[in-house]
Amino acid sequence: MSPRVIPIDGRVERITPENFQLVLNFGWNLQNLASFVRREPFMAVIQNEMAVAVCFCSRLTPHAAKSGLETLEGYRGQRYGSAAVVAWASAVKSSGRLPLYSTHWTNEESLGVARKLELVMYGSDLSIR
C-alpha cells in the first residue's frame, strides 16, 4: 500500500488513551475501546470533534498488521474510510510491519475502499464444508 493523500473534510489523528473520547460515538463499551486503543496504530478521521472513520490493527504480529475499518453510516462513500486506512498503513509501515487490508467478497463498501486505494489482491480464502 503506497502512501497517498486522500482529500477529506476533517483531520486524521492517532487515537491514544489520552484522546480516546474522540471515538466514543462509535458505541463501543470502554473495555472494548481499551482493547482497540492497544491495537496500535489506531487512526481516526475527525470531523466536528468526533471520529467518523477509524482504522486499527485487528491482527498484529511482529511482521504484519491486518486492518480493521469502521466508518459511521452517514459518512460512508466520502473517502473517510480510505483516509483512515492510508494513515493507518503509513503508521504500520513506519513500525517495520507490512500493512494488510482484507474484506469479504460481499462487503461492497469495503471493496470500494480497496478500489479507491488501488490495492492489490494477495490471496483468497477457500472454505469446504
Domains of the chain as residue ranges with CATH: 11-116 (3.40.630.30)
pLDDT at 91: 92
Q: Three-state SS across the chain? A: CCCCCCCCCCEEEECCCCCHHHHHHHCCCHHHHHHHHCCCCCEEEEECCEEEEEEEEEEECCCEEEEEEEECHHHCCCCHHHHHHHHHHHHHHHCCCEEECCCCCCCHHHHHHHHHCCCCCCCCCCCCC
pLDDT at 84: 93
pLDDT at 102: 81
pLDDT at 1: 44
pLDDT at 110: 77
pLDDT (tens, 9 = 90+) of the chain, 129 residues, equals 444 567 777 899 999 888 888 998 988 776 766 676 667 899 999 999 999 999 999 888 999 999 989 999 999 989 999 999 999 999 999 999 988 888 777 878 877 777 777 777 766 665 677
